[in-house]
Amino acid sequence: MAGTSAREEILGKISRALKSEANSGPPRPNGPRASSDEARLALEIRSRCEHKRQNLIEQFESELVKIGVRVYHAATTDSAAEYIEQIALKRVTKTVVAADAEVVEGIGLQKRLDRNGIRYVTDASDAEFRRTAIEAGIGVSGVDYALADTGTLVLLARTGQARSISLLPPVHVAIVKPDQIVSGLDDLFQLLRFEKGVNDLGSAVTFITGPSRTADIELTLVVGVHGPQELHVILLKN
């Protein structure tokens, strides 16, 4: 909903689930009680994370730096767009692929890139978008969650947020809002089930921890062979 923060949407969903349970009569095995329990647990997690928000942000940033991620604090959406613009200009990028997520569309990046003659692509057929992503210099995405204890980004594949955005270009820029940062996997799995309806991770969820790394038979570490050489995280104020 326009003008409503992600946190308010999530808490509203939890509240509605609890009210629905209260009005549904006696709980049935594997029925409404399970939904109510999940809602209460999600609310506890969200409340706990909100209570220690600043600590989670600091821990998340610390872990990102340890694994070679470049972190930028954006006080405004315009400064976030300017940061990506500067990366594109420095790397002489001709094409940027991006998710059509609200947080990406909301920073006004396309206008900045257009004035520099840089192609900005968010919409195409799957095959065409994949080909474009292979040729693109930068991929820009939002995230669904971020894990403070490991500096991991969590992205759900869906229409408008193809996995190729974060996997194929040599540079991946992820925009993260503070209320998307949770403590770790335990919190994540509970929230995925209640907030996103994800019970089977399968290939729907991508976990990203730092730039792509691989090692040869002599254990020589190489960055960027099977994915982005650089990962930038923009911490955008809510």
The predicted structure's pLDDT at residue 228? 85
Co-location of 47 and 131 in the same domain: no
Q: How far apart are CA 198 and CA 180, in angstroms?
A: 17
Are 160 and 95 part of one and the same domain? yes
Same domain, yes or no: 19 and 80: no
Number of domains in the chain: 2
Predicted local distance difference test score (pLDDT) of residue 224: 41
| Residue owning tokens 């399968």 | 202
CATH assignment of the domain containing 145: 3.40.50.10420
On whether both 27 and 37 belong to a single domain, the answer is yes
pLDDT of residue 218: 47
Do 195 and 78 share a structural domain?
yes
Of 190, 184, 147, the residue nearest 61 (C-alpha): 147
pLDDT at residue number 167: 93
Asked if 69 and 37 sit in the same domain, the reply is: no
On whether the pTM is more than 0.85, the answer is no
Residues 129, 227 within the same domain? yes
Angle at which helices 53-66 and 32-51 pack, to 10 degrees?
A: 80
Q: Which two tokens stand for residue 133?
A: 């992503």
pLDDT at residue number 39: 87
The reported pLDDT for the residue numbered 159 is: 83
Whether residues 44 and 72 share a domain: the answer is no
What domain range is 39 assigned to? 1-51
- Name the stretches of the chain with pLDDT < 50: 1-4, 14, 17-18, 20-22, 24-34, 215-226
Q: Which of 181, 175, 172 is nearest to 142 (CA)?
A: 175
Same domain membership, residue 74 and residue 172: yes
58 with 44, same domain: the answer is no
Same domain, 93 and 140: yes
Name the residue type at position 116: N
